[in-house]
């Protein structure tokens, strides 16, 4: 970008020089037309220079504002998926199923306590001497609504699948499945939205650059997302400057 700005400034200076040369050497009858053309060229190049400087600044402001609106939705979906797994043992790739789950499901409230019972085998082995073994007892204390736990009185979960900014009518992409590690199948999920969707109306060159970001203080890759279908994780891919991602 610095190179473009430098070239534009040089061209403007050269054009101004041409204006002076025209004023000095060109016959009077041609001057008005040439002067108008050169000043129009100067104005155009000045605008392009201004745009090349201000454009990226404005783009970053818009980008940050839109990301900040999307991230809370991703976190709501992540929390809902974790609740779904806690109750069902798996994740879901269906938003309708997830919303219905929040409306109807309940968490079980339990309490763990230590206790002991007679170890029959050891008692026999020791000739009738009573021997005890430790156990953990889990008591069910009651149930609490998933909706009340996650969203209290808010019904925002009913529209959490809708992307709030960017291209109108877009929805988050939701995936779920299992990842096998050391012969163990582990449930995983991923919810994402492409940067192209969020920044569809912005300068295409700047969007392409944003899709290629690899930085500790930026959102790496071409999408905002939570979770992963290739790793066992439930965190988001944005830096802490945008808010908590865990």
- Per residue in 1-23, pLDDT (tens digit) is 555 556 556 666 666 666 666 66
Which of the 8 DSSP states describes residue 213? -
| pLDDT score of 226 | 96
Residue 147 class from Cβ within 10 Å (0-12 exposed, 13-18 middle, 19+ buried)? buried
| pLDDT score of 194 | 98
- What are the backbone dihedrals phi and psi of residue 109, each rounded to the nearest 5 degrees, phi first? -90, 120
Between 36 and 172, the more confident residue is 172
**Residue 96 pLDDT > 50, yes or no?**
yes
The helix, strand and coil proportions of the chain, stated in percent and rounded to the nearest 5, come to 50, 20, 30
**How many Cβ atoms sit within 10 Å of the Cβ of residue 225?**
23
Q: Model pTM?
A: 0.72
**Residue 234 pLDDT > 50, yes or no?**
yes
- Report the range of poorest mean pLDDT among 129-133, 140-144, 169-173: 140-144
* Residue 238 · residue 78 · CB < 8 Å: no
Q: What does the block give as tokens for 1?
A: 């970008």
| pLDDT score of 125 | 77
| pLDDT score of 208 | 94
Distance (Å, whole) CA 50 – CA 28? 33
Helix, strand or coil for residue 225?
strand
Which residues have C-beta within 8 Å of that of residue 144, sequence separation ≥ 6?
Answer: 106, 107, 109
Task: Please state the rounded mean pLDDT for residues 25-29.
Answer: 63
Q: What does the block give as tokens for 229?
A: 């279908």
Beta strands in the chain (DSSP E): 106-118, 132-145, 173-181, 184-194, 223-227
Q: Which residue is associated with the tokens 């001497």? A: 129
**Residue 49 pLDDT > 70, yes or no?**
no
Of 45, 208, 76, 90, the C-alpha closest to 146 is 76
Average pLDDT across the chain, whole number: 83
| pLDDT score of 76 | 96
HSE-CB for 177 with a 13 A CA cutoff: 9
């Amino acid at each position: 970008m610095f190179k473009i700005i430098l070239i534009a400034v040089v061209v403007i200076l050269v054009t101004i020089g041409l204006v002076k040369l025209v004023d000095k050497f060109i016959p009077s009858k041609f001057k008005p037309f040439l002067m108008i053309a050169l000043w129009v060229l100067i104005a155009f190049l000045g605008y392009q220079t201004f745009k090349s400087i201000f454009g990226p600044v404005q783009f970053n402001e818009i980008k940050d504002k839109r990301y900040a609106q999307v991230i809370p939705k991703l976190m709501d979906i992540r929390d809902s998926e974790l609740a779904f797994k806690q109750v069902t043992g798996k994740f879901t790739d269906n938003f309708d199923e997830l919303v219905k789950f929040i409306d109807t499901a309940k968490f079980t409230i339990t309490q763990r306590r230590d206790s002991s019972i007679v170890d029959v085998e050891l008692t026999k082995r020791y000739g009738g001497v009573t021997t005890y073994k430790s156990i953990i007892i889990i008591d069910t204390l009651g149930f609490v609504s998933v909706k009340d736990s996650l969203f209290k009185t808010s019904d925002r979960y009913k529209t959490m699948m809708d992307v709030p900014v960017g291209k109108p009518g877009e929805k988050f992409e939701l995936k779920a499945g299992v990842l096998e590690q050391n012969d163990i199948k582990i449930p995983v999920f991923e919810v994402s939205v492409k940067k192209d969707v969020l920044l569809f109306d912005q300068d295409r060159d700047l969007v392409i650059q944003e899709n290629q970001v690899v930085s500790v203080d930026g959102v790496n890759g071409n999408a905002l997302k939570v979770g992963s279908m290739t790793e066992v994780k439930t965190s988001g891919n944005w830096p802490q400057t945008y808010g908590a991602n865990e």
